């Protein structure tokens, strides 16, 4: 499914959710603006073939703790990333497995590794740099898949109605702490199995002195 069709499908589902809520005589707290934020440290998502190459045939991820989005978790497994200029050790694997391996780092990490930082939405890895990944059983040369994740907000179709936004829309988000500041070009992602949360990386959090769980405000 291409991106346009995906957005059209999600927005259609959002409209159905609104109609169902109104049909049942329920009320919505519309014009919401406040959202929690989570800080995403460097990590890697692996496809099955790459997991087994790095950790051994038949290996399965060992869940350590759940993270903010339903069904996703931090695993016990870690790898080392190696670039043209440096390496970063103990990079955690997140589960569950993906269809394609993807590494998410910060711009500072990209400079440490010696690769060009490419800001992308998750899953859009064409034309992105690759890296060498070292696991306990083997070394893998990844040809593409290393991104700096585009900052984004996860929400359900019901959330989208309440916040007055659509899947794929870009919004501005205001930091409400003492340092203040505004994030531009924040992507909205809408799906039934999402939990309301804004994701930024460690560079962005440090620049604005933001901690996990802080409340931000959508300005649109």
Clarify whether residues 80 and 118 are in a common domain: yes
Q: What does the pLDDT average to over 207-212?
A: 97
Structural domain for 32, as ranges: 3-38+150-218
Question: Is pLDDT at 216 greater than 70 in this prediction?
Answer: yes
Question: Is pLDDT at 26 greater than 50 in this prediction?
Answer: no
For 87-129, what is each residue's pLDDT tens digit?
999 999 999 999 999 999 999 999 999 999 999 999 999 999 9
Secondary structure, 3-state, the chain: CCHHHHHHHHHHHHHHHHHHHHHCCCCCCCCCCEEEEEEECCEEECCHHHHHHHHCCCCCCCEEEECCCCCCEEEEEEEEEECCCCEEEEEEEEECCCCCCEEECCHHHHHHHCCCCCEECCCCCCCCCCEEEECCCCEEEECCCEEEECCEEEECHHHHHHHCCCCCCEEEEEECCCCCEEEEEEEEEECCCCCCEEEEEHHHHHHHCCCCCCEEEECC
- pTM (2 d.p.): 0.85
Clarify whether residues 54 and 99 are in a common domain: yes
Q: How confident is the prediction for the chain on average, in pLDDT?
A: 91
What local confidence, expressed as pLDDT, does residue 220 receive?
A: 80
Q: What does the pLDDT average to over 166-185?
A: 96
What local confidence, expressed as pLDDT, does residue 31 receive?
A: 78
Domain termination site, one of 109, 124, 149 = 149
**Number of domains forming the structure of the chain:** 2
Q: What does the pLDDT average to over 136-163?
A: 96
Clarify whether residues 45 and 145 are in a common domain: yes
């Amino acid at each position: 499914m291409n991106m346009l069709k995906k957005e059209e499908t999600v927005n259609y589902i959002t409209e159905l959710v609104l109609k169902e809520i109104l049909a049942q005589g329920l009320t919505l707290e519309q014009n919401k603006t406040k959202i929690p934020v989570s800080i995403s440290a460097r990590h890697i998502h692996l496809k099955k073939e790459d997991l087994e190459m790095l950790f051994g045939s038949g290996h399965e991820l060992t869940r350590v703790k759940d993270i903010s989005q339903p069904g996703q978790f931090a695993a016990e497994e870690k790898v080392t990333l190696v670039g043209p200029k440096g390496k970063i050790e103990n990079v955690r694997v997140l589960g569950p497995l993906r269809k394609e391996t993807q590494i998410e780092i910060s711009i500072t990490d990209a400079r440490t590794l010696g690769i060009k930082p490419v800001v992308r939405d998750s899953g859009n890895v064409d034309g992105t740099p690759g890296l060498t990944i070292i696991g306990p059983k083997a070394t893998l040369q990844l040809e593409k898949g290393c991104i700096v994740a585009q900052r984004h907000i996860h929400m359900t179709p019901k959330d989208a109605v309440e916040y007055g936004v659509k899947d794929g829309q870009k919004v501005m988000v205001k930091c409400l702490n003492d340092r203040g500041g505004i994030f531009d070009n924040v992507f909205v992602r809408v799906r039934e199995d999402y939990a309301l949360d804004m994701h930024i990386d460690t560079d962005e959090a440090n620049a604005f002195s933001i901690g996990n769980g802080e409340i931000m405000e959508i300005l649109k």
